[in-house]
A = this chain, B = another copy of it.
Amino acid sequence: MRPLIGFTPANLGIFKLAFSHKSNPSDKAYAIQNNERLEFLGDAILGTIVAEYLFKKYPNSNEGFLTKMRSKIVKRNTLNKIGDKMGLDMLLQEYSQTRLSRSMLGNAVEALVGAVYLEKGYKATKRFVVRRILRNYVDVHELESYDDNYKSQLLEWCQKNGQTVSYKLVARYKFEKRDRFKVAVMIDGKKLATADDFNKKSAEQTASEKAMLQLGILVGNGDNDDDDSDDDSED
């Protein structure tokens, strides 16, 4: 654990818990002894540390810019990549009882931040997040110019090229007790790509990104090479 967090935890249990994905969500006692509560705490703390980091880094930017930048950093896809680069898959494999999915990586980042906070308090967690996560794995300047609204980008491209774009709900199903949506993006009525997510809007964004990759109109922002493997099924 020490190479990852920079200190030897006094309470190793809480760090093990950070990487313990529940195998049986209906078991109430077990549901509490997994990483979801830590994710809840870590998500809040990570969001605040990133907010403060941006607040100080951009003293002349307004609230709209700061909000947008923050959501680019703490969004699921970015956190999944950070967890991947940190090598959290090894720890998840050791402590979890389910098959690894990509979104577990981002969740583990949040849970880890929650565990560091419980052990070390806010100041030390801020140092951990800024030095070991933001500086190592987040290119803030790249994110500044990076437009992650794939739906609007695709719409703009279609309008320029006289084509129509539409979205279709292909399936709605339960995954780990939550509603999950499969959405298809259609160009001139032809299905180009599908994506799954827990809300339709996010699924449409991911489907639009895939469509743009297929059309060859998404160019180098380093965020495309590495698509969410959960969403790769086409039907």
Identify the A interface with B (CB < 8 A).
Answer: 28, 31-32, 36-37, 39-41, 43-45, 47-48, 51-52, 55, 59-63, 66-67, 70, 121-123
Contacts of A45 in B (CB 8 A): 48, 51-52
Cα(A79)–Cα(B63), bound, Å: 19
User: Once the chains bind, are A44 and B41 in contact (CB under 8 Å)?
Assistant: no
Known: A32-B61, A47-B48. 5 other contacts (CB 8 A): A32-B62, A36-B63, A39-B63, A40-B55, A121-B122
Q: Of the candidates B39, B51, B59, B121, which one forms a contact with A44 in the assembled complex, judged by CB atoms under 8 Å apart?
A: B51
User: Once the chains bind, are B40 and A51 in contact (CB under 8 Å)?
Assistant: yes
Q: Of the candidates B36, B39, B63, B123, which one forms a contact with A37 in the assembled complex, judged by CB atoms under 8 Å apart?
A: B63
Closest to A50 in B: B44
Between A and B, 12 residue pairs with Cβ closer than 8 Å are A31-B62, A32-B61, A36-B62, A37-B63, A40-B51, A40-B63, A40-B66, A41-B51, A41-B52, A43-B51, A47-B48, A121-B123
User: Once the chains bind, are A48 and B44 in contact (CB under 8 Å)?
Assistant: yes
A-B CB proximity, top 5 nearest: A44-B51, A122-B122, A36-B63, A44-B48, A48-B48
**Nearest CB on B from A168, distance (A):** 22
Closest to A63 in B: B36
**Nearest CB on B from A129, distance (A):** 12
> By CB atoms of chain B within 10 A, which of A44, A48, A62 has the most?
A44
Contacts of A37 in B (CB 8 A): 55, 62-63, 66
User: Once the chains bind, are A67 and B40 in contact (CB under 8 Å)?
Assistant: yes
Contacts of A55 in B (CB 8 A): 37, 40-41
Contacts of A39 in B (CB 8 A): 63
**Nearest CB on B from A89, distance (A):** 22
**A40-B67, A55-B40, A122-B122 known; A60 vs B32 contact (CB < 8 Å):** yes
Cα(A70)–Cα(B61), bound, Å: 28
